[in-house]
Structure 1
Amino acid sequence: MLRESSRLELKAELNDKLEKEIVAFLNNREGGVLYIGVDDIGKPVKHLEIDSIQLKIADRIKNNILPSPLGLFDIVTEMIEDTPVTKIIISSGLEKPYYIKSKGMSPNGCFMRIGTSTQPMSTALIDELYAKRIHTTLRNIPAPRQDLTFAQLKIYYQERGLELNNQFVNSLELLTPEGKYNYIAYLLADENGVSIKVAKYAGRDKVDLIESEEYGYCSLIKATNQVLEKMKIENVTKTKVTSTKRIETHLVEPVPLREALINAVVHNDFSREIPPVFEIFSDRMEFTSYGGLIAGQSMEDFFSCSSMPRNRELMRVFKDVGLVEQLGSGMSRILKYYDRDIFEISDHFIKVIFPFAVQEKGDANSKGENGIENGIENGIENGIENEDERKIFSILVETPDITAKKMSEHTGFSVRKINRIMKGLKEKGIIVRVGSDRKGYWEIQGK
């Protein structure tokens, strides 16, 4: 059941308060979500013309709010009780205070979220936020060269059924206030000096470099797609075929890998001309982007599903060409599979470390008919419900006396999460503890 909160607002219909609510969420530290077509008690309102409403909403947000909110909002259709409603996802903006264009930067135009209500900002707060406003965004930094072309970018838009007309440099905000190509344009141009490095090492450290490739000097969209293809190849699938099942395991879960890679690119601080780096070791993958937490952003903000985009213009283009599916969804897709502790955040860098899944050793002959394969099959048939349980179960089949701490090192899961999964497997009767906690082992039922 949907309930209004500091990050959630419900409206039964589209009314003249739309801009006010959007501005409040843009100014909110964590952004927010606005539903149109849902009443105060969370019930959907039927017979609303979704397509027509969403076009009006997009037009009003683009034209009636300053600074430009493009790249900071997403409009999608969601089904509630089999009824389509409009969901507007709003990220926190970097150029606070945001305000209603017709009202100006005043208490009549600037709003903030307090609990479940939207309130006018005080003049003192408006002045304080304006004084802290970040002006050195990529949009305001001139490109190092001005002879830029965008044939690659146009092709990516065409592949999505979109056309870039003669005014696209304005609509995509590729110009500085002085009318020169900005750094966003430079990153998206057919030729530039930006390159993304992918390095592969033979072991667990950087001593033995066996492969080093550069993807770039072209549109950042093209470079990102090239790196995605490279990592897809490296994230090989290990397959075991048994008498009844085909069991496949990637080194890293594909969905969070893709999301973390794209996040590392689109949220990288390119203003210092330091691109993201992707490294492959024998036991893990590491993605490092430059730029720590954004000023005013907390760790909790960083992990929220509606975080603060560092480069909203890039975010918008990445969404247009299908690299980003829905605003704010990337982090939730990562945390669905991995715990927060795969992230290392310092003052200047954010690193994501994906440990490889435990690889099974030996084969059916070495384990016999009641070996790993049959153990996994029996476990699945007896109630394993998701990928996390399958991972832990396969480890226990291979190494029944392994500790939760060791499993944490192998999987990237926290010890608390592992204990919770093992408790669930025990309650289902899939595993049973034999002996003491210190010297005992886990026995697979049905092996």
Structure 2
Amino acid sequence: MLFGKDNSIMSVLPQHKTDAIFRVENKDRYDDRDVVITNLIDSYDRLIEFGQKHLNDLFVLDGIVNVNARDRILREIVSNTLAHRDYSSGYPAKMIIDDEKITVENSNLVHGMGALDLQKFEPFPKNPAISKVFREIGLADELGSGMRNTYKYTQLYSGQNPLFEEGDIFRTIIPLKKIATQKVGGGNVPHSVPHDVPQGRDELIEFIKAQVRLNNKITRQAIAEGVGVSVKTIQRTLKEIDNLKYVGSGNSGHWELNE
């Protein structure tokens, strides 16, 4: 039923909703909000889009591979709150993004109490039918993998561990760096980027080279937005890459990488 038409869902479960809130500037109320009252597939898409709208895709390396840790985290926490909540409860589910953390809360079919330990955690299917559909359409993986993935990508994205609390209310907390919610696109690129942004010199050089290999007409602005730093930082780093040069001028020019 939760995958069906909205009218049918609301006629049986009028309490079904997820309140997505972005609260950084206006601490007393909110800066942006989306009250999601729709089927689970559309709810998943809306919540992912809300997270992508307000969280920056920081430059993150898993080994030597650049990964989108933000989207990996969102995928896990959104699918978890939709697949494992207690839909008979009137407690309103929430996803709140502030400048320090993401907090996801939902009513819960309790299976234990307290903070979950990754090493001792035993996965338990709370809504097997919903979880099965999510796995079949690619919105979730095998039971228990979500917690492991959330740990992995939160450590890459934030440098800290997430927190999972089991109780009548299930709570997931993803710590954030300040840069994660700062506006870094277009004219709002900060002149000085915090030192804890994952942008070591060698890593940044390899990222630039990878972008040029994919698109030899890519702009400095596009590279800066892709990594989450200022254009000035990219310009500085480009001067250090001896085997990379820009041939021509303006939009008619292109990059040449001598490897």
Q: TM-score with structure 1 length normalisation?
A: 0.34
SS in 1 for 2:104: strand
Aligned to 2:236: none
Is the alpha carbon distance of 1:356 and 1:249 closer, same or farther for their aligned partners in structure 2, counting shifts above 3 Å?
Answer: farther
Measured against aligned partners, the alpha-carbon deviations of 1:40-99 in whole angstroms (never above 9, x if no partner) come to xxxxxxxxxxxxxxxxxxxxxxxxxxxxxxxxxxxxxxxxxxxxxxxxxxxxxxxxxxxx
1:337 Cα deviation (Å)?
3.0
Offset from partner CA, 1:276-312 (integer Å, 9 cap, x none): 21112133221112227415999448963x6001111
Alignment of 1:281 onto 2:102: no
Tell me, in whole angstroms, the C-alpha distance in 2 between the residues paired with 1:258 and 1:326. Answer: 14
Q: Which runs of 5+ in 2 are unaligned?
A: 60-65, 183-188, 206-228, 230-259
Q: Paired residue for 1:266?
A: 83
**SS at 1:352 equivalent:** strand
Q: Give structure 1 stretches of 5+ with no counterpart.
A: 1-184, 240-247, 382-393, 395-447
Indicate the percent of aligned positions where both proteins have the same amino acid.
16
**Structure 1 238/302 Cα, relative in aligned 2: closer, same or farther at 3 Å?**
closer
Where do residues 108-187 of structure 1 align in structure 2 (5 Å cutoff)? 185=1, 187=2
CA deviations over 1:235-277 (Å, ceiling 9, x no partner): 22368xxxxxxxx998x73212320121111111112133421
- Measured after TM superposition, the shift of residue 213 of structure 1 is 1.5
> Structure 1: how far apart are the matches of 2:45 and 2:20?
13
Task: Say if 1:301 and 1:292 are closer, same or farther in 2 by CA, change over 3 A.
Answer: farther
The 3-state SS of whatever aligns with 1:188 is coil
CA offset digits 1:344-399 (Å, max 9, x no partner): 525322222222234399648x9xxxx999x8214778xxxxxxxxxxxx9xxxxx
Q: TM-score, normalised by structure 2?
A: 0.56
Aligned equivalent of 1:215, options 15, 36, 43 = 36
Instruction: Name the larger-Rg structure.
Output: 1
Q: Is 1:337 paired with 2:187?
A: no
AA paired with 1:220? L
Deviation at 1:202, TM superposition (A): 3.0
Q: Does residue 1:312 correspond to 2:120, yes or no?
A: no
Number of residue pairs the alignment of both structures matches? 181
The one-letter amino acid paired with 1:328 is G
Q: Which residue of structure 1 lines up, in the alignment, with residue 201 of structure 2?
A: 377
Q: Secondary structure at the match of 2:200?
A: helix
What is the rounded CA distance, in whole Å, between the counterparts of 1:346 and 1:297 in structure 2? 5
Do the aligned partners of 1:286 and 1:354 also contact (CA within 8 Å) in 2? Answer: yes
Alignment of structure 1 residues 27-426 onto 2, 5 Å: 185=1, 187-190=2-5, 191=7, 192=9, 193=14, 194-203=16-25, 205=27, 207-216=28-37, 218-237=38-57, 253-291=70-108, 293-295=110-112, 299-300=116-117, 304=121, 307-338=123-154, 342-345=162-165, 347-359=167-179, 363=191, 376-378=200-202
What RMSD in Å do the two structures reach over aligned CA positions? 4.1
Query: Structure 2 CA distance, aligned partners of 1:303 and 1:204?
Result: 39
